[in-house]
Amino acid sequence: AQKVTQAQTEISVVEKEDVTLDCVYETRDTTYYLFWYKQPPSGELVFLIRRNSFDEQNEISGRYSWNFQKSTSSFNFTITASQVVDSAVYFCALSEITGGFKTIFGAGTRLFVKA
Amino acid sequence: NAGVTQTPKFQVLKTGQSMTLQCAQDMNHEYMSWYRQDPGMGLRLIHYSVGAGITDQGEVPNGYNVSRSTTEDFPLRLLSAAPSQTSVYFCASSYRTSGTGELFFGEGSRLTVL
């Protein structure tokens, strides 16, 4: 069965610090997709990135980077030089092909970035 | 485009009352789903649909019904509301056959059951 674990409930950092949000997943499928979503204090859910199971290349987008390692079933998210606007709840999610892209979320990590 | 539209945004119910949360999308997405968000629990999947006429249960389906008569609409029905159903509900849709799977979310509906 699908499962996503985000062990960090809350993280607090000072602006300009780097921070890594951990995500560990479980799946029996060989074809699956991993996602990160952001939920700022305003409450909407914003898509950040998608990665498929056959592409283990790390990705960088500005201050954001993602590290996908199938060997450890992890898909970690790093924010470099954090800013106050990064304060939000971040969700990792897993979507399996056989489930018709049924998407299961982790419990989320709340990030506080202090000025 | 409107994207994913949920109504109502806020609702207060008494225990035992029934109601329907409406969800509509104008992106011709095959896949639609309902989640509930509770503190510390993340987003939990209630029901989902991979196309008109097809629905399936998610992680927490008890107490909820869904139907999918059109591609655009995916209403969520609470048959007999209970205080445990107090939550924020999100409807989401995505392309299925494209392989993207990225979810587009509505703005959420906050439900309180007294």
The nearest CA of chain A is from the CA of B50 a distance in Å of: 7
Handedness of CA A71, A88, A86, A17 (dihedral sign): negative
Low-confidence ranges of chain B (pLDDT < 70): 1, 97-100
Where residue A99 falls among pLDDT bands split at 50, 70, 90? Answer: low
DSSP A44-82: --EEEEEEETT----EEETTEEEEEEGGGTEEEEEESS-
The nearest CA of chain A is from the CA of B29 a distance in Å of: 12
**CB of A108 within 8 Å of any CB in chain B?**
yes
Lowest mean pLDDT among A17-31, A40-54, A58-72, B92-106: B92-106
Given this model, what pLDDT does residue B95 score?
85
**CB of A104 within 8 Å of any CB in chain B?**
yes
The secondary structure of residue B59, as a DSSP letter, is S
Report, as an integer, the average pLDDT of A35-46: 95
Q: Which residue of B has its CA nearest to A110?
A: B40
Where residue A45 falls among pLDDT bands split at 50, 70, 90? Answer: very high
Given this model, what pLDDT does residue B97 score?
63
Given this model, what pLDDT does residue A88 score?
97
